[in-house]
Structure 1
Amino acid sequence: MPQDHDSTTADDSGVRVIKKYPNRRLYDSATSTYITLAQVKEMVIAGERVRVRDAKTSEDLTRSILLQIILEEEAGGAPMFSEAALANIIRFYGHTMQGFMGAYLERNVAAFSEMQSRMQDQAKSFSPEAWAQYMKLPANPMGAVQEQMQEQMKKQTEQMLEMFGLKR
């Protein structure tokens, strides 16, 4: 088992520290065990904050590990990003508004996550009778909220792309 030079299991902000060794293995300092990329993904899904550091240099590798997880997910079946969306994201690299695009995406994903969380919280309070009534409705009200949000995000994105001379 690797020697934990700084014996750190979490940094000062409560972030779980994962060390990446030259053999490409990931070592969870909190459990003193080797873990897989899938386990890092599970931690992220569970809402745990993780920080991946190179075991020798302490370089922060978190972004590259998260991107690797996304790449595997995108290649594994039902991708989240269309080719057009990926092409548009690529076009912003090196563009003067690159930082703005990142912040824009971050805000919209956070808003979407918040909406999803609220919907899940509301759904937990439904009784079986309420669910039965909900299922009898001709149109799903939650679906309508999602559609409105998607339409709003689509309009905002189109406006932003037009502002920078980029069109679909």
Structure 2
Amino acid sequence: MSDQTRLIKKYPNRRLYDTKTSAYITLADVKDLVLRFEEFKVVDAKAGDDLTRSILLQIILEEETGGVPIFSTELLAQMIRFYGNSMQAMLSKYLETNMKAFVDFQGKVQEQSRSMYGDNNQMQSDMWAQFLNFQGPAMQSMMSAYMDQSKKMFHQMQAQIESQTRNMFTGGFPFPGTPGASGAPAAGNTPGNKPDGKKTEKAG
């Protein structure tokens, strides 16, 4: 933890203690820290365990139940199904990467709208809404093309693996005793026989 990280201790009575201000704070205060992009870490006051994720999840839960939710029921169900799945790590990376790209893109749009309308929040909000309405179909088309390409790549990879598996068991690794296997005599060339199948006669 860097010196810039704000340390918040959580006590058994569920109260949060901000070591920077030497005062107890609420979840709403922690949310304000998030909105202000301040680095902080929540730890268990007794065991020292990192509780930052659980506190952030509590804030998300309050936002989801108290206002307009971001996650639909179907989306939440799909996310739950990924837990324990082999694709769980890939989904986590995918969401993190795309969220960062979306935030960066939103920041650029806000900078452009601020240069045009100043600090008029209503105008900035209207510009963002108009942009999303205009770009919505294009973004859906791009995502559809991305999914189609991903499916093609997956099928190609699957076909390649199946082909390699067939080659492994049919020609790549012959079993001992089969014709052509290393150390195995060819048909008609058993010890004591000539290639034409006739037995050799001992000299004398």
> Which TM-score applies when normalising by structure 2?
0.62
Amino acid at match of 1:20: K
CA distance in 1, matches of 2:109, 2:138: 14
User: 1:109 aligned to 2:99?
Assistant: yes
Give the structure 1 partner of residue 85 of structure 2: 95
Identify which of 123, 128, 134 aligns with 2:113. Answer: 123
Give the structure 2 partner of residue 131 of structure 1: none
User: 1:144 aligned to 2:117?
Assistant: no
Larger radius of gyration: 2
Unaligned runs of 5+ in 2: 119-123, 155-204
Unaligned runs of 5+ in 1: 1-10, 129-133, 164-168
Identify which of 39, 53, 56 aligns with 2:29. Answer: 39
CA distance in 2, matches of 1:27, 1:158: 50
Amino acid at match of 1:35: I
Report SS of the residue matched to 1:126. helix
Amino acid at match of 1:124: R
User: 1:48 aligned to 2:35?
Assistant: no
Give the structure 2 partner of residue 30 of structure 1: 20
Structure 1 segment 150-161 matched on structure 2, within 5 A: 152-153=142-143, 156=146
Matched residue count: 145
Cα 1:110–1:155 change in 2 (3 A) is farther
CA distance in 2, matches of 1:151, 1:118: 22
CA distance in 2, matches of 1:41, 1:65: 10
> Which TM-score applies when normalising by structure 1?
0.74
Report SS of the residue matched to 1:53. strand
Report SS of the residue matched to 1:104. helix
CA contact (8 A) 1:119 1:142 kept: no
Cα 1:13–1:89 change in 2 (3 A) is farther
Please tell me the root mean square deviation across aligned C-alpha atoms, in Å.
Answer: 3.0
CA distance in 1, matches of 2:59, 2:144: 26
Cα 1:121–1:34 change in 2 (3 A) is same
Amino acid at match of 1:120: Q
Amino acid at match of 1:14: Q
Deviation at 1:13, TM superposition (A): 5.3
Deviation at 1:141, TM superposition (A): 4.1
User: 1:70 aligned to 2:46?
Assistant: no
CA contact (8 A) 1:108 1:153 kept: no
- Which structure has more relative contact order (CA 8 Å, sep 6+)? It is 1
Cα 1:71–1:50 change in 2 (3 A) is same
